[in-house]
Structure 1
């Protein structure tokens, strides 16, 4: 979870706070340059605050690096050009911070290629960051379903998926895909992840039959055998 500036100030030592103050001031100053980049009016390749972005872990601690980098991106009002450059040229940690911040930037759906790239990797840190609020707001239904399956394949907890319940609710196609995945796991003698049961419960929420006592039936349970008749 990203920390606020107030939370960071409470945790950082004096030297780290001073560095962060300078870095954010520099990012705010460079916001005008970012505006020029967005309009295509400047050939300027890389604003100075991006060097601060890469150095965040060294100056503020790796445990605070995501939050510091996110603050820099927001303060600089980072353009698509900047976030793409930082993602493509960055380490996995630097890429993760970009993904975690996309929903806080004024980019519309233009940064979806970064999310799609992260979802093609098997780096669970990137997959978990990629299925956050930005993906929930901008991925179409087909891509979002595959993002959920990617989490199940890579064992990323589905708690990382933003808006999971609302987007999965009543999604018959997602339920079908999950049924197929569960069948493949069962046929291979492998357990069905509990997270799959959770998502399938959401996907069947509008149509699932109720069990005893009016409670929803187990969405992954096999259909009950028909009751024997007198003739049998």
Structure 2
């Protein structure tokens, strides 16, 4: 769920709350800007202000990078970054650049913001897929939010569920798990194979694996 500005301000010290107000003001589109029109060159938002190497870095992007110093805890900093992205409505190229060149904390915020950005079903998937290739459990959990639930193909989604079991990410992090797992025989097969491997190796079968198996069975006729 997107944290509101008012809620986040209430969690911050006065100096941090003032910083948030000023930062969000720099991210709000100017009147008449809106989404990038068709035919606008890549990296140029609807306002016509260059966004990226060809022009000055927008102030809100500098605030995005500075949130960790201004907002106290990692969680409040992440919430501030998500709000900045939601407010700025940047094009897909900017979102990808912030992720690719960002710190782990900045990447986490980009992943959490994906459901609230104006991206197509393909524009954010490379970021989700990149996060799922890591062993950073925070990034894996963030990658499996509502955007992945809506857009990640079935094969990749099944492997992402297994990745959670491999790395110890609670499956409660997987958005729409019950809906997507229901009746999924292939996922059930993969989980059963994984459980058999662990049993043969003398290792415990995670409770989360049994839970997902039950969800798969629940959707079968």
TM-score, normalised via structure 2 length:
0.88
Count, aligned residues: 208
Tell me if structure 1 keeps the 8 A contact 2:146–2:175. Answer: yes
Tell me if structure 2 keeps the 8 A contact 1:38–1:79. Answer: no
**Structure-1 residue corresponding to 2:184:** 171
Separation in 2 of the partners of 1:18 and 1:49? 15
Larger RCO (CA under 8 A, 6+ residues apart): 2
Separation in 1 of the partners of 2:161 and 2:196? 17
1:63-212 mapped onto 2 (5 Å cutoff): 63-109=75-121, 110-207=123-220
Structure 1 segments (4+ residues) deviating >2 Å: 1-4, 29-39, 41-44
CA RMSD of aligned residues (A): 2.1
Work out which of the two has the higher radius of gyration on C-alpha atoms and give 1 or 2: 1
Structure 2 CA distance for partners of 1:190 and 1:2, relative to 1, 3 Å: farther
Q: Residue deviations 1:18-52, cap 9 Å, x none?
A: 11111101011479497379821635313221110
Tell me if structure 1 keeps the 8 A contact 2:9–2:20. Answer: no
Structure 1, 32-41 or 198-207: larger mean CA deviation: 32-41
Separation in 2 of the partners of 1:72 and 1:118? 21
Structure 2 CA distance for partners of 1:120 and 1:105, relative to 1, 3 Å: same
Tell me if structure 2 keeps the 8 A contact 1:27–1:75. Answer: yes
Q: Residue deviations 1:76-98, cap 9 Å, x none?
A: 01211111111111111110000
Aligned pair partner of 2:70 in 54, 59, 76: 59
Tell me if structure 1 keeps the 8 A contact 2:3–2:83. Answer: no
Structure 1, 24-33 or 99-108: larger mean CA deviation: 24-33
Runs of at least 5 residues in structure 2 that lack an aligned partner in the other structure: 45-49
Separation in 2 of the partners of 1:100 and 1:2? 9
Runs of at least 5 residues in structure 1 that lack an aligned partner in the other structure: 209-232
